[in-house]
Amino acid sequence: MPYGNHSATELNKSVTINTLRKLKGSGEKFVVVALYDAPMAAMAQKCGVEAVLVGDSLGMTVLGYQSTIPVTMDHMIYHVEAVARGNQKSLIIGDLPFMTYATPEDALRNAARLMQAGAQMVKLEGGAWLAETITMLAERGIPVCAHLGLTPQSVNKFGGFRVQGRDPANADKIHADAQTLANAGADLLVLECVPSALAKRITADIPIPTIGIGAGLDNDAQVLVINDILGLTEQPPKFSKNFLTEAGDIPGAMKKYVADVKSGQFPGPEHVFE
Protein backbone atom coordinates (compact mmCIF):
# COMPACT_ATOMS: atom_id res chain seq x y z
CA MET A 1 0.00 0.00 0.00
CA PRO A 2 1.25 3.55 -0.55
CA TYR A 3 2.61 5.60 2.34
CA GLY A 4 -0.36 7.93 2.08
CA ASN A 5 -2.69 5.18 3.28
CA HIS A 6 -0.87 3.42 6.10
CA SER A 7 -1.98 5.35 9.18
CA ALA A 8 -2.12 2.95 12.13
CA THR A 9 -1.11 -0.01 9.93
CA GLU A 10 2.19 -1.83 9.63
CA LEU A 11 4.82 -0.34 7.35
CA ASN A 12 5.05 -2.35 4.17
CA LYS A 13 8.63 -1.38 3.36
CA SER A 14 11.62 0.17 5.08
CA VAL A 15 11.55 3.92 5.60
CA THR A 16 14.53 5.93 4.35
CA ILE A 17 15.51 9.58 4.30
CA ASN A 18 14.06 9.74 0.78
CA THR A 19 10.72 8.50 2.13
CA LEU A 20 10.59 11.37 4.61
CA ARG A 21 11.60 13.92 1.98
CA LYS A 22 8.77 12.72 -0.27
CA LEU A 23 6.30 13.01 2.59
CA LYS A 24 7.38 16.61 3.21
CA GLY A 25 7.00 17.34 -0.48
CA SER A 26 3.52 15.86 -0.58
CA GLY A 27 2.40 17.59 2.61
CA GLU A 28 1.68 14.33 4.43
CA LYS A 29 2.67 14.28 8.10
CA PHE A 30 4.95 11.55 9.37
CA VAL A 31 5.29 10.15 12.87
CA VAL A 32 8.25 9.73 15.22
CA VAL A 33 8.32 8.02 18.63
CA ALA A 34 11.18 8.15 21.13
CA LEU A 35 11.56 4.64 22.60
CA TYR A 36 14.24 2.42 24.01
CA ASP A 37 13.60 -1.32 23.73
CA ALA A 38 12.85 -4.11 21.26
CA PRO A 39 9.17 -4.78 22.12
CA MET A 40 8.14 -1.12 21.80
CA ALA A 41 10.23 -0.81 18.64
CA ALA A 42 8.42 -3.79 17.11
CA MET A 43 5.05 -2.29 18.05
CA ALA A 44 5.96 1.06 16.49
CA GLN A 45 6.79 -0.69 13.23
CA LYS A 46 3.42 -2.48 13.26
CA CYS A 47 1.57 0.77 13.97
CA GLY A 48 3.05 2.65 11.00
CA VAL A 49 5.59 4.85 12.84
CA GLU A 50 7.99 6.11 10.17
CA ALA A 51 10.93 6.88 12.47
CA VAL A 52 11.95 5.85 15.97
CA LEU A 53 14.30 7.96 18.05
CA VAL A 54 16.50 6.26 20.60
CA GLY A 55 16.83 9.41 22.63
CA ASP A 56 19.14 10.29 25.47
CA SER A 57 15.85 11.06 27.19
CA LEU A 58 16.30 7.49 28.39
CA GLY A 59 18.39 9.02 31.16
CA MET A 60 15.17 10.40 32.66
CA THR A 61 12.54 7.94 31.40
CA VAL A 62 14.42 4.68 31.96
CA LEU A 63 17.45 5.29 34.18
CA GLY A 64 15.93 7.68 36.71
CA TYR A 65 18.27 10.65 36.27
CA GLN A 66 17.08 14.25 36.60
CA SER A 67 18.41 15.23 33.15
CA THR A 68 20.04 13.74 30.07
CA ILE A 69 23.53 14.85 31.12
CA PRO A 70 24.64 11.56 32.77
CA VAL A 71 23.84 9.43 29.70
CA THR A 72 26.90 7.75 28.16
CA MET A 73 27.75 6.22 24.81
CA ASP A 74 27.53 2.77 26.38
CA HIS A 75 23.94 3.50 27.46
CA MET A 76 23.06 4.66 23.96
CA ILE A 77 24.69 1.72 22.19
CA TYR A 78 22.90 -0.77 24.47
CA HIS A 79 19.49 0.73 23.68
CA VAL A 80 20.14 1.33 19.96
CA GLU A 81 21.06 -2.34 19.61
CA ALA A 82 17.84 -3.37 21.38
CA VAL A 83 15.66 -1.14 19.19
CA ALA A 84 17.40 -2.34 16.03
CA ARG A 85 16.64 -5.93 16.97
CA GLY A 86 12.95 -5.11 17.31
CA ASN A 87 12.42 -2.84 14.31
CA GLN A 88 13.66 -3.35 10.77
CA LYS A 89 11.37 -0.94 8.87
CA SER A 90 11.16 2.37 10.74
CA LEU A 91 14.12 4.71 10.32
CA ILE A 92 16.22 4.46 13.51
CA ILE A 93 17.71 7.70 14.83
CA GLY A 94 20.20 7.58 17.71
CA ASP A 95 21.13 10.47 19.99
CA LEU A 96 24.75 11.38 20.57
CA PRO A 97 24.89 12.11 24.32
CA PHE A 98 26.36 15.05 26.20
CA MET A 99 29.93 15.97 25.22
CA THR A 100 30.37 13.14 22.72
CA TYR A 101 30.43 15.55 19.76
CA ALA A 102 32.27 18.57 21.20
CA THR A 103 34.66 18.42 18.25
CA PRO A 104 34.10 17.11 14.72
CA GLU A 105 36.53 14.29 15.43
CA ASP A 106 34.65 13.25 18.56
CA ALA A 107 31.39 13.34 16.61
CA LEU A 108 32.77 11.19 13.80
CA ARG A 109 34.15 8.55 16.16
CA ASN A 110 31.02 8.31 18.30
CA ALA A 111 28.58 8.54 15.40
CA ALA A 112 30.33 5.58 13.79
CA ARG A 113 29.76 3.58 16.99
CA LEU A 114 26.04 4.37 16.99
CA MET A 115 25.68 3.51 13.30
CA GLN A 116 27.47 0.20 13.83
CA ALA A 117 25.06 -0.52 16.70
CA GLY A 118 22.09 -0.19 14.34
CA ALA A 119 21.23 3.51 14.04
CA GLN A 120 20.63 4.83 10.54
CA MET A 121 20.99 8.48 11.54
CA VAL A 122 22.48 10.37 14.49
CA LYS A 123 21.01 13.37 16.27
CA LEU A 124 22.98 16.34 17.60
CA GLU A 125 21.82 19.30 19.69
CA GLY A 126 23.07 22.78 18.90
CA GLY A 127 23.16 25.71 16.52
CA ALA A 128 25.43 27.05 13.81
CA TRP A 129 28.57 25.95 15.67
CA LEU A 130 27.72 22.39 14.53
CA ALA A 131 27.88 23.21 10.80
CA GLU A 132 31.44 21.92 10.33
CA THR A 133 30.62 18.74 12.25
CA ILE A 134 27.45 18.06 10.25
CA THR A 135 29.30 18.58 6.96
CA MET A 136 32.03 16.16 8.04
CA LEU A 137 29.51 13.50 9.03
CA ALA A 138 27.44 13.95 5.87
CA GLU A 139 30.51 13.71 3.64
CA ARG A 140 31.38 10.42 5.31
CA GLY A 141 27.97 8.84 4.82
CA ILE A 142 26.44 9.50 8.25
CA PRO A 143 22.97 11.08 8.09
CA VAL A 144 22.28 13.78 10.68
CA CYS A 145 19.20 15.01 12.50
CA ALA A 146 19.79 18.47 13.98
CA HIS A 147 17.97 19.73 17.09
CA LEU A 148 17.14 23.37 17.91
CA GLY A 149 15.02 25.25 20.44
CA LEU A 150 15.00 23.65 23.86
CA THR A 151 18.03 21.39 23.70
CA PRO A 152 17.94 19.31 26.91
CA GLN A 153 21.70 18.81 27.08
CA SER A 154 21.96 22.60 27.61
CA VAL A 155 19.41 22.67 30.42
CA ASN A 156 21.96 24.04 32.90
CA LYS A 157 22.83 26.89 30.55
CA PHE A 158 19.15 27.67 29.97
CA GLY A 159 18.41 27.62 33.70
CA GLY A 160 15.77 24.92 33.31
CA PHE A 161 13.43 23.44 30.73
CA ARG A 162 12.22 26.71 29.17
CA VAL A 163 10.53 27.61 25.90
CA GLN A 164 13.02 29.12 23.44
CA GLY A 165 12.50 31.70 20.69
CA ARG A 166 9.80 33.83 22.27
CA ASP A 167 11.63 37.12 21.78
CA PRO A 168 12.33 38.31 18.21
CA ALA A 169 16.13 38.19 18.48
CA ASN A 170 16.20 34.64 19.78
CA ALA A 171 13.60 33.57 17.22
CA ASP A 172 15.69 35.04 14.39
CA LYS A 173 18.78 33.23 15.69
CA ILE A 174 16.99 29.87 15.77
CA HIS A 175 15.68 30.51 12.24
CA ALA A 176 19.16 31.40 10.99
CA ASP A 177 20.67 28.36 12.72
CA ALA A 178 18.08 26.12 11.05
CA GLN A 179 19.05 27.41 7.63
CA THR A 180 22.77 27.05 8.41
CA LEU A 181 22.42 23.44 9.57
CA ALA A 182 20.26 22.49 6.59
CA ASN A 183 22.86 24.02 4.26
CA ALA A 184 25.62 22.15 6.11
CA GLY A 185 24.01 18.83 5.22
CA ALA A 186 21.52 17.97 7.99
CA ASP A 187 18.75 15.67 6.79
CA LEU A 188 16.14 16.34 9.51
CA LEU A 189 15.56 19.01 12.14
CA VAL A 190 13.86 18.62 15.53
CA LEU A 191 12.26 21.80 16.87
CA GLU A 192 11.52 21.50 20.59
CA CYS A 193 9.50 23.92 22.71
CA VAL A 194 9.45 26.90 20.37
CA PRO A 195 6.44 29.09 19.50
CA SER A 196 4.25 27.57 16.81
CA ALA A 197 4.65 30.60 14.53
CA LEU A 198 8.45 30.21 14.57
CA ALA A 199 8.24 26.49 13.79
CA LYS A 200 5.85 27.20 10.91
CA ARG A 201 8.24 29.80 9.50
CA ILE A 202 11.25 27.47 9.72
CA THR A 203 9.34 24.55 8.20
CA ALA A 204 8.38 26.69 5.21
CA ASP A 205 11.88 28.14 4.74
CA ILE A 206 14.15 25.09 4.85
CA PRO A 207 14.18 22.14 2.42
CA ILE A 208 14.58 19.39 5.01
CA PRO A 209 11.72 17.90 7.07
CA THR A 210 11.07 19.32 10.53
CA ILE A 211 9.94 17.29 13.54
CA GLY A 212 8.06 19.18 16.22
CA ILE A 213 7.70 18.55 19.93
CA GLY A 214 5.92 21.39 21.66
CA ALA A 215 6.34 23.35 18.42
CA GLY A 216 2.85 23.53 16.99
CA LEU A 217 0.98 21.78 14.22
CA ASP A 218 2.82 23.04 11.14
CA ASN A 219 5.93 20.86 11.30
CA ASP A 220 6.35 18.02 8.85
CA ALA A 221 6.25 15.48 11.70
CA GLN A 222 5.65 15.12 15.42
CA VAL A 223 7.64 13.23 18.04
CA LEU A 224 6.61 12.13 21.51
CA VAL A 225 8.33 9.98 24.12
CA ILE A 226 6.66 6.59 24.57
CA ASN A 227 6.30 7.25 28.32
CA ASP A 228 4.18 10.32 27.58
CA ILE A 229 2.04 8.48 25.03
CA LEU A 230 1.29 5.82 27.65
CA GLY A 231 0.75 8.21 30.57
CA LEU A 232 3.80 7.01 32.50
CA THR A 233 5.25 10.46 33.16
CA GLU A 234 4.51 11.71 36.68
CA GLN A 235 4.49 15.36 35.67
CA PRO A 236 3.84 15.34 31.92
CA PRO A 237 4.97 18.35 29.89
CA LYS A 238 2.41 20.68 28.31
CA PHE A 239 3.12 19.38 24.81
CA SER A 240 2.41 15.73 25.65
CA LYS A 241 -0.79 13.70 25.61
CA ASN A 242 -1.80 10.45 27.29
CA PHE A 243 -3.25 8.37 24.44
CA LEU A 244 -3.69 5.27 26.59
CA THR A 245 -6.71 6.68 28.43
CA GLU A 246 -8.61 7.04 25.14
CA ALA A 247 -7.39 3.85 23.50
CA GLY A 248 -7.59 1.41 26.41
CA ASP A 249 -4.53 -0.66 25.53
CA ILE A 250 -0.91 -0.05 24.54
CA PRO A 251 -1.15 -0.94 20.81
CA GLY A 252 -4.30 1.15 20.59
CA ALA A 253 -2.53 4.12 22.17
CA MET A 254 0.28 3.93 19.61
CA LYS A 255 -2.20 3.63 16.73
CA LYS A 256 -4.24 6.57 18.06
CA TYR A 257 -1.11 8.73 18.27
CA VAL A 258 -0.18 7.84 14.68
CA ALA A 259 -3.69 8.50 13.40
CA ASP A 260 -4.03 11.83 15.25
CA VAL A 261 -0.70 13.12 13.93
CA LYS A 262 -1.57 12.06 10.38
CA SER A 263 -4.99 13.72 10.54
CA GLY A 264 -3.74 16.92 12.20
CA GLN A 265 -5.71 16.35 15.40
CA PHE A 266 -2.50 16.28 17.45
CA PRO A 267 -1.07 18.51 18.68
CA GLY A 268 -4.10 20.56 19.71
CA PRO A 269 -4.11 24.19 20.88
CA GLU A 270 -3.53 23.07 24.46
CA HIS A 271 -0.22 21.41 23.51
CA VAL A 272 1.54 24.37 21.83
CA PHE A 273 3.31 27.56 22.82
CA GLU A 274 2.34 30.88 21.28
DSSP 13-66: S---HHHHHHHHHHT--EEEEE--SHHHHHHHHHTT-SEEEE-TTHHHHTS--S
Q: Is 156 exposed, middle or buried (0-12, 13-18, 19+ CB in 10 A)?
A: exposed
Say how far apart CA 188 and CA 52 lie, in whole Å: 13
Distances (CA, A) of 227 to 39, 40, 57, 250: 14, 11, 10, 11
Q: What residues act catalytically?
A: 192
The identity of residue 173, as a single letter, is K
State how far the alpha carbon of 109 is from the alpha carbons of 52, 92, 101, 210, 242, in Å. 22, 19, 9, 26, 38
